[in-house]
Amino acid sequence: MHSCNLDIEINKLSKIEGHADLDIRIRNGKLEEVTLKVMENVRFFNQAVQGKSFASVPQLVSRICGTCSIAHLTACIEAVEKTLGVVPSAQTVLLRKLTMYSLMIRDHALHLYFFVLPDLFGIDSILDLADDKKELIHEALHVKEAGNNLSKLVAGRAVHAPYEQVGGFSHEIDPSRVPILISELKKVRPSVLKLMDIFYNCSWKLERKTNFVAIATPDFSFLEGKIKSTSGSVIEEKDYWDHLHNVVLPYSQASGFQFEGKEYMVGALARMNLNKESLHPSTQKDAAKYLAVFPSDNIFHNNLAQAIEILHSLDHSIELLRSGEFKKEEPAKPTRQSGEGVGAIEAPRGTLYYWMAIDEGRVRYLNLVIPTAQNLINMRGDIKKIVEDACASGVFPDELEEKIRREAEKIIRAYDPCMSCASHFLRVNLN
Amino acid sequence: MAEEQVKKRVGIFSLTCDEGCSIYLTEIFNQKLLGWLERADLVYFLSVKNKTDFSGLDIALVEGVVTSQKDKEELEKIRSNARVLIAMGTCAMSALPSGQRNTFTPEQKEEIREHTETYGFLPRALALKEVVKVDDEIPGCPISEEIFIKTFERYLT
Ligand code: SF4
């Protein structure tokens, strides 16, 4: 009696970045097809960068994605610098770390408080929280604001940050603001500890053996390190392309990736599974109980991992702000005008790769590998598992549809996908 | 004394773009949201809500450019449901940067032709006012915080 036929369509998935649809087809009680369709209209960045001066391209690619614009800006700057032999100063590297931390704080906070908490409390929006939980809205806004103010101080703005440039920062930090910011970052720490506890106590579980891949940075600063996988690979950033395979996904405006021939996951969970020893000492101390969860195969622990990364971003930022003198500096200059290079960083949603070729100061070629595109195949595998488990659970067809809708949306949100990003740089031609 | 004032129904919409203006708006919210919610109901904002009822809007905030037939239909639907329509950001105001294909060379246009034809793109990306009547505009990429607050609060009262 449960051998039902069911077509489930979810148009415009909500509480994710960008537009995506999900179609699920069940025949005779068996899953036939899962299609996750990226519905973003392409904006043709491949072409838009061609022939542009290397100095202007970082601000141009920043417009790929509003929410993680700082990640695109930073990865692109790194690619230009590697290509043209620009060596940033120690202060620039420090400011970049702070800029990345400001992004992690506000981006993860937006995801956890606004996109995930409603599922946890069974409500449509964080704005519908019951009175006894209303303080979470205030906490959400304060944590985001701390990240936003850190962006403002260091990089000028949280979205399309104007100060971060090839070779350095165009403005220096206002020293009178530093103590104010340190106390603001400290003040939101208890809220983040509470957030970690919420996700630690969350019973959601989806385990499916997969491979995790991330750049393991020695100070967990999301910038420089070796690419590592839980399957045991250790790779230089510049060699990434030898290990990734582009996979065309039928019916989708985006393509997926495999790592050394297998599906894999990138993002906060991958970073935590591969590199938790590098977190800031204060984070290790106060999150010890939560860190014991990792390594974990439970995809929903991506939420907990993001909350831990907010704490680390606060803790390391406080230390860096205290230590820096923040002098005015001239930007580091290119030592050549042509070449090819790779910029790779950990963006909020996972490893982001930029491959750039520059001729006489003008960009000839750019190829990107986007975190969400890397997660698409794994995400689809997880949705399949959810549907198969639901079909096998023996609930009635009308309940089945509700259950699948709810569970599928929950797992997609756990990945924190960014469809604005995923739709770009689909075509790969490497000649 | 206070007679319960009817709250304004507000919707936030994204056409083709990077959603940078609405993301920046969530940063403006850090300070402003709770105050605004006393005078406004956020009835449509996919970044925050699932429920998607956008009939009888008092204020529609729209970011992005009209690049496809589908964008055009969506914008027309928003317009017919909204008393006031505000364009957010330079994309919505003047079609750039998200409509950057408008500035491509003939060779580049040829390169993207197959894609634009397959996905029902318009001959060029359009600013909102080329498609519907726009009541107000907020410049910036992303929107200027100051101008947004001033403009939005004017329509809230
Ligand atoms: S104006 Fe700028 S920030 Fe706003 S949607 Fe367009 S590209 Fe994004």
- Section A318-340 average pLDDT: 94
- Percent pLDDT > 70 in chain B is 93
- Percent pLDDT > 70 in chain A is 95
Ligand 1 atom with the shortest distance to the CA of A160: 3
Closest chain A residue to B51 measured between Cα atoms?
A124
Range of the domain at B44: 8-156
Complete DSSP assignment for A335-388: S-S-EEEEEEEEETTEEEEEEEEEETTEEEEEEEE-HHHHHHHHHHHHHHHHHH
* A81 found inside a domain: yes
What's the confidence (pLDDT) of residue A145? 97
Please list every protein residue whose CB sits less than 6 Å from any atom of ligand 1: A 63, 66; B 17-18, 20-21, 63-64, 89-91, 97-98, 141-142
Contacts of B33 in chain A (CB under 8 A): 141
pLDDT one-digit tens code per residue, A70-119:
999 999 999 999 999 999 999 999 999 999 999 999 999 999 999 899 88
Query: Is A124 close to B108, i.e. CB distance below 8 A?
Result: no
**A20-24, A361-365, B59-63, B147-151: the lowest-pLDDT one:** A20-24
**Distance between A180 CA and the closest CA of chain B, angstroms:** 17
* A30 found inside a domain: no
What's the confidence (pLDDT) of residue A418? 82
**Distance between B104 CA and the closest CA of chain A, angstroms:** 7
Site to substitute for ligand 1 among A44, A61, A62, A63, most atoms within 8 A of C-beta: A63
Q: Contact at 8 Å (CB) between B11 and B60?
A: yes
Cα dihedral across residues A93, A353, B119, A420: positive or negative: negative
| Single pTM value for the model | 0.94
- Section B85-112 average pLDDT: 96
Contacts of B29 in chain A (CB under 8 A): 141
Above 70 in pLDDT, residue A431? no
* Selected residue with higher pLDDT from B132 and A10: B132
* Selected residue with higher pLDDT from A147 and A28: A147
pLDDT confidence bin for B99, thresholds 50/70/90: very high
**A195-209, A310-324, A387-401, B139-153: the lowest-pLDDT one:** A387-401
pLDDT confidence bin for A429, thresholds 50/70/90: very low
- Report the nearest-CA residue for atom 2 of ligand 1: B141
**Distance between B2 CA and the closest CA of chain A, angstroms:** 22
Closest chain A residue to B48 measured between Cα atoms?
A15
pLDDT confidence bin for A6, thresholds 50/70/90: confident
Torsion of CA A184, A190, A193, A194, to 10 degrees: -120
Site to substitute for ligand 1 among B13, B14, B18, most atoms within 8 A of C-beta: B18
CATH number at residue A208: 1.10.645.10
What's the confidence (pLDDT) of residue A298? 96
* B26 found inside a domain: yes
Query: Is A64 close to B18, i.e. CB distance below 8 A?
Result: yes
Complete DSSP assignment for B77-144: HHHHHEEEEEEEHHHHHH-TTTTGGGG--HHHHHHHHHHHHHTTEEEEEE-GGGTS---EEE-BTTB-
What's the confidence (pLDDT) of residue A250? 64
pLDDT confidence bin for B51, thresholds 50/70/90: low
What's the confidence (pLDDT) of residue A23? 84
**A183-192, A224-233, B50-59: the lowest-pLDDT one:** B50-59
Give which of B16, B17, B21, B30 to mutate to test A binding, by max A Cβ within 10 Å. B30
Q: Contact at 8 Å (CB) between A95 and A154?
A: yes
* B137 found inside a domain: yes
Above 90 in pLDDT, residue B53? no
pLDDT confidence bin for A254, thresholds 50/70/90: low
| Cβ-proximal residues to B20 (8 Å cutoff; 6+ apart), any chain | A63, A65, A66, A67, A69, A159, A160, B63, B89, B141, B142
What's the confidence (pLDDT) of residue A86? 98
What's the confidence (pLDDT) of residue A131? 80
pLDDT confidence bin for A34, thresholds 50/70/90: confident
Give the number of domains in chain B: 1
Ligand 1 atom with the shortest distance to the CA of A66: 8
Give the number of domains in chain A: 1
* A291 found inside a domain: yes
Above 90 in pLDDT, residue A422? no
pLDDT confidence bin for B113, thresholds 50/70/90: very high
Range of the domain at A61: 45-326+334-374+418-422
CATH number at residue B147: 3.40.50.700
* B115 found inside a domain: yes
Site to substitute for ligand 1 among B63, B66, B145, most atoms within 8 A of C-beta: B63
Q: Is the ipTM of this complex over 0.85?
A: yes
Above 60 in pLDDT, residue A50? yes
* B3 found inside a domain: no
What's the confidence (pLDDT) of residue B2? 47
What's the confidence (pLDDT) of residue A428? 33
